[in-house]
Amino acid sequence: MTMESERESPTRIRYHVIGATTLAAVMLYLDRICIAEIAKLKEFRQSLDLSDEQVGMVMSAFFFSYALAQVPAGWLSDRFGARRMMPIYIAVWSISTILTGFATGFAMLLVVRLLFGLSQAGCYPTAGSLVKRWIELPRRGTASSIVSFGGRFGGAIAPLLTAWLLKDYLSWQIVLALYGLAGLFVAVYFWRIFRETPLDHPACNAEERELITRFDSPDEGGSSAAFPPILTLVSSGTMWMMCALQFGVNIGWVFLVTWLPTYLQDVKQVDATIGGLMSTIVLFAGIGGMLLGGPLTDICTQRLGTRWGRSLPIAGCSTVALCAYLSCLHLESAWSFVIAASIVAFMTDMSVPAVWAYMQDVGGKNTAAVFGWGNMWGNFGAAVTPLLVPIVLKKWDHNGDWHEAFYLFSAGYLVAALCALGINAQRKIS
């Protein structure tokens, strides 16, 4: 018998790790998106005595704290390990979800949502870092798309599931409590499944370890720096392009997860349950794009290299999303609008794996911190949009058709498409 025949087949622990991370992403977005469905309830607004502007502030507060905590949370995972930090992040945001149901007024609700954003900030930077450590280079785009799929799946089911539970069964406080308790179980499950590296996992054999690491450069390992690489990030022109890109994308995309239920109800005169179904359809369209986006950037990278294999998918997807939003200016029926919004969701999510892979390409040993830096600026865009929409509508939208808001969303995708052409995954963030 030859030595080759005696070699074991690689174990598949990396798939269990990606599965646990994907489940965490499901809860990340389920807990995040359900508030948009709850916020349109008269009972919610009346019980907390909230105005439209205060509802916008509550939704925006999450994105501001989420954005500001991205780099610190990512660095904490780089420094102290994903196995320790990820369950903490999941547990704290799950408890915050439960506490949202106990809010007695605007001030308490605002504080809880700020805490919710702080704790959720660490999930995707940590996930991006562990994908880099657990998945071989040619498959990282696909693995990133699977984890991101989990987030979009959680977000897609949130409107319909939440509307269904609220309409026929439970109060909004009980729904939040159930979501929070489910998240606590996920935190425990992740801790049991995950280890920092393939070398640390007792069930991962030598063949799987070799498979994962064979494409990595020799300088990819080592412990993280004592502090986040802020100066290096600030001095990187290509990283600033990525930051502007994410800012623009979220200016356009966040409408789909904040004001869309309100738009369908107030402008298109859609029943609440049908509106929940429509929102779910839009977000489910994103799932299809997410699953295709990973193989797309992997194939483009194999054929064009990392420079254009990351850049072109993002630029192309942002351009199509821009055109879809502009088409909304000429659509009368609710269902035709849903088709256009679904195209926006599909194209946005198709570009996400390329964004993740870019930050893994340039991040080195501080991938989570680099991921957090890009996400921070993206979520600044997400934070200002819930505040801008009421202002834009009040100042310029005199006929109530929301066209001026769609010009704002389209401008975000224009910025994203232009900046995507300027990113370069070959320039490492040392």
- Percent of the chain clearing pLDDT 70 (strictly above): 94
Confidence category of residue 321, pLDDT binned at 50, 70, 90: very high
Q: What is the pTM of this model?
A: 0.73
What is the number of other CB atoms lying within 10 angstroms of the CB of residue 224?
A: 21
Q: pLDDT at position 224, please?
A: 53
Closest CA relative to residue 298, chosen from 288, 286, 306? 306
**Residue 222 CB-density burial (10 A; 0-12 exposed, 13-18 middle, 19+ buried):** exposed
Q: Examine the pLDDT at 218 and tell me if it is beyond 70.
A: no
> Higher confidence at residue 235 or residue 168?
235
**What pLDDT shows up at residue 160?**
80
| Sequence-separated (6 or more) residues with CB below 8 Å from residue 151 | 25, 26, 28, 29, 124
Report pLDDT digits (tens) over 224-233.
555 566 777 8
- Ordered by where they begin, the domains of the chain are 13-214+223-420 (1.20.1250.20)
Instruction: Tell whether the model's pLDDT for residue 407 goes beyond 70.
Output: yes
pLDDT the model gives residue 288: 85
Q: Give the DSSP letter of residue 399.
A: S
Cβ distance 114 to 65 under 8 Å? yes
pLDDT in tens, 168-214: 678 889 999 999 999 999 999 999 999 988 888 988 888 888 888 77
Mean pLDDT of 237-264: 89
Q: Between 55 and 146, where is the model more confident?
A: 146
> What value does the mean pLDDT take over residues 38-50?
82
pLDDT computed for residue 31 by the predictor: 92
pLDDT range class, residue 247, cuts 50, 70, 90: very high
- The residue written with tokens 């194209």 in the block is 347
For 327-348, the pLDDT digits (tens) are: 998 888 889 999 999 999 999 9
Residue with tokens 């269990």: 16
Please tell me the predicted confidence (pLDDT) of residue 3.
44
* Under 8 Å between Cβ of 208 and 11: yes
